[in-house]
Amino acid sequence: MKKFILFSLAVIALFGITNAKTLAKFLPSAEEQKTTVQTVDWSTVEIDRLEVYKSKRLLQVLDDGKVIKTYKMRLGFAPTGHKTTEGDGKTPEGQYVLDWRNPNSQFYKSLHISYPNADDLAQAKTRGVSAGGDVMIHGSAKNLGGSAGQPLYGYMPKADWTWGCVAVSNQDMDELWRNVKDGTKIEIFP
């Protein structure tokens, strides 16, 4: 991600992009950034699970089995199939738990997904490889600064780019951070 941001900044500098109208050509539109369900009164819900639909690039928040909010998201750079090996660029599939959080993540904030589980470790061991780890739900950029306020707060790349994590905009990450508790179940579907 650092390379992408540095590349983007280099393009902006190289071409002398100094106004918001020109910059907008390089960033997803506000419509592309929107979540599919707009308003939730978080005080009235108790999130019991998250569901990730890799093929649809959607992360859903559920309360008592009902979807209360849906977020657009991005995946690992090689998203098809279950993660089996460190560095394969795949996002795992299956049932996990959000077991801890990092307020100082390289990608804004992050919620850790309990990959690898016992089955993931066993399959990697039989092949003599590392299953990998540090799979998170995280934001899309650490730097919220910039001369025009906070242009990266709602930013999310148009393509998959992580090493296997689930990435949302920093704005959406703040909402998840406030409302999803450690111990919440997460299921990741193909």
Q: How far apart are CA 180 and CA 116, in angstroms?
A: 21
Q: In 3-state terms, what secondary structure has residue 54?
A: helix
Q: How far apart are CA 20 and CA 34, in angstroms?
A: 19
Known catalytic residues? 138, 165
Query: Do 151 and 106 meet the contact criterion of CB atoms below 8 Å apart?
Result: no
Q: How far apart are CA 129 and CA 86, in angstroms?
A: 8
Sheet strands (E) in 78-179: 94-105, 108-113, 136-138, 166-167
